[in-house]
Amino acid sequence: METNIAAAVDCPDPQQVSPYIIILPVAIPLGIFLLVLILLNLVLLPSRRKLGGKEFDDELLKHAVITGGSSGIGLSIAKELVNRRCSYVTILARNEQKLEEAKIMLEEFGTSIGSATKIAYISVDVSDAEKIKDVAKKLCEGQCPNVTMLFNVAGTSSSAAFVDTDYKEFDRLMDINYLGTAYTTRAFLPYMKSSNKAPRAVIITSSQAGQLGVFGYTAYSASKFALRGFAEALHMEVARDNISVQIAFPPDTDTPGFELEQTDKPEETRLISETSGLFKPDR
C-alpha cells in the first residue's frame, strides 16, 4: 500500500508560506540588538566632544606624563612630544641622574627647534602604589595643567627556562610591568577626566611577547599578556569620559634594558627573537 508522504505530514504549500515567517526570526533579534546599541550610545555613552585635527591636537598636547622616560622608548616619546610642541612633558623613572641627563637633552633639543615645551622629571618607582599616588597628586594639584596624555612605558624583562626561573622573578616582573602600569594609571586617571569631556589618552606598552608566548618568557609574557586584558577592560570603562586607551606591542627594541637582557638569555629565546629583527626606539 502506497502512502502519500506529503499528505501524512501535512506539509504546507511553499507558495502559501508567508514571507514574514522567514523574516521575523531574523528581524526581531536584529531589532533588539539595534535598540541596545542606541541605548548604549544615548545613555551609557554620552556624546563626546568631536574636534577637528588641530583642535584635537591642541587639547591633547597640554601635559604628557611618561613613565620610563629617562631612556629608550620613553625618552624617544618625550622627544617627539617636544617636537610637536607639547606644553608640558614630565618624565618619570627611578634613576635621578638619568632623569637629569634626559631633561637636559630634551631642553637642548627643544631650543634647537624653537619648541617652548617645559620639561620636568620626578624620580619614582611605579610599582610603589603610595609613591606614585603622591606624584600624581603633586603634579595635578600643583601649577601644571592636568595630565592630558599618560604614556605607560616603564617595564623590564628577563628570560629563562620556566624551571630555572627564580620564584621572586615572577613577582618582580608582574610588579613592574603590570602593577606599575595599573598603579600609575589608577593614580592619574581621576585627574584626567574633565567635565566638558575633553579628549584624553592613556597609552600602555606591552610587547610582542604579550601577544604570543615565547620560549624563555614564562614570567615576562605573563606580565605583558596581563596588560592587554587591563587595557580592554579599562577602555570600556572610560569611553564615556572621552578617554581613549591604546596598547602597543613593540618587538625587540635597542634599549638599555634589551642590552642587559642579552647577558643570560637562553639560546632558544635568542634565536626566536632574532626572527623579528631589532628596532630603534625612535622608529
The top-scoring range by mean pLDDT among 8-12, 239-243, 267-271, 276-280 is 239-243
Residue 73 maps to a domain: yes
Q: Which of 121, 178, 183, 220 is catalytic?
A: 220
At residue 28 the predicted structure's pLDDT band, cuts being 50, 70 and 90, is: low
Concatenate the DSSP letters of all residues of 208-260 into one string: GGGTS--TT-HHHHHHHHHHHHHHHHHHHHHGGGTEEEEEE---SB-SHHHHH
Question: Is pLDDT larger for residue 269 or for residue 165?
Answer: 165
Any catalytic annotation for residue 217? Answer: no
Does the global pTM surpass 0.85? no
| pLDDT tens readout for residues 107-151 | 999 999 999 999 999 999 999 999 999 999 999 987 788 899 999
Q: How large is the average pLDDT for residues 225-250? A: 96
For 129, the domain range is: 50-274
Any catalytic annotation for residue 20? Answer: no
Residue 133 maps to a domain: yes
Q: Which of 79, 98, 103, 224 is catalytic?
A: 224
Domain count, the chain: 2
Any catalytic annotation for residue 127? Answer: no
Q: How large is the average pLDDT for residues 1-10? A: 48
Residue 282 maps to a domain: no
* Residues 77, 198 within the same domain: yes
Q: Which of 206, 207, 223, 273 is catalytic?
A: 206
* Residues 36, 90 within the same domain: no
SS3 268: helix
* Residues 173, 123 within the same domain: yes
* Residues 155, 244 within the same domain: yes
